[in-house]
């Protein structure tokens, strides 16, 4: 009892680990019970001790105690057990059919919202293809009354989306919670479905910069004019990394509007955007870009941009005898002068 009191009250991690170690020596079951129970019942200021102890010391021998807690009739103890599963789900010894069946049962049937949330988080954190035993539970969870459960379940299903999931994802596009709609749109995007673009555009227009970055992660999977139009709008984003990524995603998109946007991007002042556009016009074989690329040699901002300019010009002109730039200033000047001389000799062509 004294050891349990010490572990539950001290703020020094060293004393906590000492108390739990002594408990393991004298009564291993009591030590396991302590760290599982402490995940939910400990003072929040001390709870991180239990989390850290489980991460560092829990092993396969503790699995049954953890699963027993997750099956408890007491909601607080079930939360603690599921929290422990969440902490340990990256270990192979925790990825058993028994564990996945437990997660599926908690996700589908647990009356406690936090338990269902922890169950969905276990699957989201796992990162592996969800086994067949949990897929029906994940689909059922798309109708859970709590948005956090719906969102987590969509994220798990979307990582390994199947064509038969499309109807369930599409139904979630009408969810009253924006985060659920976004997760559903992302899932449909990974299937390449243009029906998701409307919600992706909504997120791109109303969210933070991080939200727009998330849109770009899935928008490239949709081969449809509506997705291309959204990418074109994002090339003007205030954040240069977002604009540059949108430009890169346009690389294999056809259309005069795309060509015009790329040529325009070669004229912006931001070097990150110019460099992205330079690489793309070279890859697309856009010879009308050559005069502007030659002009940009006079105002390049950094080594990466100069390297991109040289590579694009070589692809577009097939010129020979022009030295590639290296790290020293003399080499860079020689490359620029050689391209200017080439351009002058081809002015009448």
What are the pLDDT digits (tens) for 130-176?
788 899 999 999 999 999 999 999 999 998 888 999 999 999 999 99
Mean per-residue pLDDT over the chain, rounded: 87
Helix axes 28-41, 44-57, angle to 10 degrees: 140
Least confident of 116-130, 187-201, 239-253: 116-130
* Tokens at 232, concatenated: 């074109």
Question: Residue 98 above 80 pLDDT?
Answer: yes
Residue pair 230/219 in contact (Cβ under 8 Å)? The answer is yes
Q: Is the pTM of this model over 0.75?
A: yes
Quote the pLDDT of residue 219: 95
**Cα→Cα distances 104→111, 130, 141, 155, 204, Å:** 13, 10, 10, 16, 33
Retrieve residue 293's tokens: 């690329």
Across 6-10, 17-21, 269-273, which has the greatest mean pLDDT? 269-273
pLDDT at 1 over 50: no
Is residue 294 within 8 Å of 313, Cβ to Cβ?
yes
Mean pLDDT of 179-183: 96
Return the DSSP state at 240.
Answer: H
Tell me the average pLDDT across 260-267.
Answer: 97
* pLDDT of 38 above 90: no
How many C-alpha atoms does 90 have within 13 Å on its Cβ side?
6
Q: What is the pLDDT of residue 206?
A: 85
Confidence of residue 323 (pLDDT cuts 50, 70, 90): confident
Query: How many whole angstroms separate alpha carbon 307 and alpha carbon 336?
Result: 11
C-alpha distances out from residue 167 to 159, 194, 195, Å = 16, 14, 11
Q: How far apart are CA 86 and CA 82, in angstroms?
A: 6
């Amino acid at each position: 009892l004294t050891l349990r009191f010490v572990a539950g009250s001290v703020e020094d991690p060293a004393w906590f680990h000492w108390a739990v170690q002594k408990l393991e020596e004298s009564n291993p079951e009591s030590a396991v019970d302590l760290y599982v129970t402490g995940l939910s019942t400990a003072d929040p200021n001390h709870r991180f001790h239990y989390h850290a102890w489980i991460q560092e010391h829990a092993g396969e021998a503790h699995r049954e105690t953890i699963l027993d807690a997750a099956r408890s009739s007491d909601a607080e103890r079930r939360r603690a057990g599921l929290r422990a599963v969440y902490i340990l789900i990256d270990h192979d010894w925790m990825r058993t059919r028994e564990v996945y069946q437990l997660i599926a049962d908690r996700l589908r049937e647990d009356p406690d919202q936090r338990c269902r949330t922890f169950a969905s988080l276990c699957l989201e954190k796992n990162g592996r293809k969800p086994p067949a035993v949990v897929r029906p539970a994940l689909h059922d969870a798309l109708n859970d009354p709590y948005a956090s459960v719906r969102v987590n379940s969509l994220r798990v299903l979307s990582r390994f989306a199947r064509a038969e999931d499309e109807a369930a994802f599409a139904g979630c596009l009408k969810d009253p919670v924006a985060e659920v709609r976004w997760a559903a749109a992302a899932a449909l995007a990974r299937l390449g479905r243009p029906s998701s673009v409307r919600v992706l555009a909504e997120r791109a227009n109303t969210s933070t910069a991080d939200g727009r970055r998330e849109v770009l992660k899935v928008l490239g999977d949709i081969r449809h004019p509506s997705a291309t139009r959204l990418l074109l709008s994002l090339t003007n984003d205030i954040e240069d990394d977002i604009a540059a990524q949108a430009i890169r995603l346009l690389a294999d998109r056809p259309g005069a509007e795309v060509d015009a946007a790329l040529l325009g991007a070669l004229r912006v002042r931001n070097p990150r955007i110019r460099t992205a556009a330079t690489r793309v016009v070279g890859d697309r074989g856009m010879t009308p870009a050559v005069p502007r690329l030659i002009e940009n040699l006079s105002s390049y901002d950094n080594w990466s941009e100069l390297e991109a300019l040289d590579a694009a010009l070589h692809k577009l002109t097939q010129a020979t005898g022009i030295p590639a730039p290296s790290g020293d200033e003399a080499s860079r000047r020689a490359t620029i002068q050689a391209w200017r001389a080439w351009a002058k000799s081809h002015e009448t062509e």
